Structure 1
Amino acid sequence: MILYSYRRCPYAMRARMTLKYANIEFEHREIELRNKPQSMLLVSPKGTVPVLCMGDEVLDQSVDIMRWAIDQSDPAGWGNVDDAIAQAWIEKNDGPFKALLDQYKYPNRFPELNQEAALEQALQIMLLPMEQSLQATEYLLGDQMTWVDIAIFPFVRQFSMVDVNQFEQLPIPATKRWLAQHLESELFNSVMHKHPVWRD
């Protein structure tokens, strides 16, 4: 089993965390974004990570990898969720929130857009709804961690790192606690070791 990955990619991060959680062993192949290995492009021409190769079967969508891993082993019940609610959170995160994250993080790429406006929209669309959930329960879907928390965490992490001081001033204390818990977790830190770039 082979996983093509990139250390800082949030999609790859959530895949690695779930594979680790499910205790699934794989060969880690760290790619270089500017020089992607041909072996990866042959099995997944879209050229993005993560890509999980299992013999003839290839999964190249991070959520598919997460769901597959939990189907193999789910020791803490991460998969015990309402699928419709889970899907709504994932669509919001991977769709509008990810677009706003890119606008907020790379303002030079979007000169026609206002960085402050992107921050405000991200608050309204994602961060404040998260805050409302996390004020009521410890995790997004209740008092038990699920794969949805793991799927969304790397993107909130990335958002928080764009301007740390600005993020600290946002009125989302429960979300910040949730983020800190993930950042300090053994699971997250165990999948963030640096790997040498893999060459074909």
Structure 2
Amino acid sequence: MSLPILYSLQNCPYAMRARLGLLLAQQAVMLRAVVMKNKPAAMLAVSPKATVPVLVLDDGTVIDESLDIMIWALHQSDPLDLLHRNEPEAYPAMLALIDIHDTVFTSALSKYKYAVRYHTDNEVELRRQCAVYATMLESHLSQHAYLIGDKVSLADYAILPLIRQFSRVDRQWYLQAPLPHLRNWLNKHLQDQRFAKAMAKYPQWLETNEEFLFGHAD
């Protein structure tokens, strides 16, 4: 039986999210590394939205939203119980926290990155908008080791890539901001070997025509 195909871009936070989900679920796929300036026709044919990640299952089903890829993978296998299956209230709480992240926070973060890069007048206000969400996460983490409680969950790994990006926009501000628990949480995840594995670099598929086995259990 052929394995699913994952089209992925190394430094895209949404592609990172998908790769983390597949690794944590120990779901083997064949990874095709792409760059956005040279998108493969095979990827565009199955997902006209033309962004990564794109997962093509062996039955032809296409999943091209990063959170959906994580959820699909964890429904196949969830060895760390990231969905907290014995806590009915946990899963909706995860999705609610991720939804705010994927709408309000990411929208503000996109504008904040641009403002810092081009030194626009609204930089401070956009940072404040991002910080509202970061402060909410800080509040969660001041009470528990992870975002939904004392056990790591889907929410931690789904939110991680964009918080990593946020921490790099204005590094000096971030390091002195009143977010000690968030910084500790982020550092702990970034130092984890699973994150290092998710960030491994692969040659471009269009240049080498080579796919790479990814996500399988060691």
Please state which band the TM-score falls in when normalised by the shorter chain. Answer: over 0.9
SS at match of 1:106: helix
Is the 8 Å Cα contact of residues 116 and 169 (structure 2) preserved in structure 1?
Answer: no
Q: CA deviation at 1:109?
A: 8.4
Query: Amino acid of the residue matched to residue 100 of structure 1?
Result: A
- 2:76 aligned with 1:72: yes
Aligned length: 199
Equivalences for 1:76-115 in 2 at 5 Å?
76-80=80-84, 82-107=90-115, 114-115=122-123
Percent identity between the aligned chains?
A: 40
The answer for the alignment partner of 2:67 in structure 1 is 63
- 2:36 aligned with 1:29: no
The answer for the alignment partner of 1:194 in structure 2 is 201
In structure 2, how many angstroms separate the alpha carbons of the residues matched to 1:110 and 1:40?
33
RMSD: 1.6
In structure 2, how many angstroms separate the alpha carbons of the residues matched to 1:92 and 1:9?
19
- 2:186 aligned with 1:179: yes
SS at match of 1:190: helix
- Structure 1, residues 122-173: CA drift from partner, whole Å, max 9, x if none? 111x101000000000000000000110000000000101121111011010
Runs (4 or more) in structure 1 with deviation over 4 Å come to 108-113
In structure 2, how many angstroms separate the alpha carbons of the residues matched to 1:61 and 1:113?
33
SS at match of 2:205: coil
Structure 2, unpaired ranges of 5+: 210-218
Out of 129, 152, 156, the residue aligned to residue 159 of structure 2 is 152
The answer for the alignment partner of 1:10 in structure 2 is 13
Please report the TM-score for the alignment, with normalisation by the length of structure 2.
0.87
The answer for the alignment partner of 2:23 in structure 1 is 20
Structure 1, unpaired ranges of 5+: none
Is the 8 Å Cα contact of residues 55 and 69 (structure 2) preserved in structure 1?
Answer: yes
Q: CA deviation at 1:108?
A: 7.3
Deviates more, 1:18-27 or 1:140-149: 18-27
- 2:136 aligned with 1:129: yes
For the structure 1 residues 91 and 113, does the alpha-carbon distance in structure 2 shift closer, same or farther, using more than 3 Å as the test? farther
Larger relative contact order (C-alpha < 8 A, sep ≥ 6)? 2
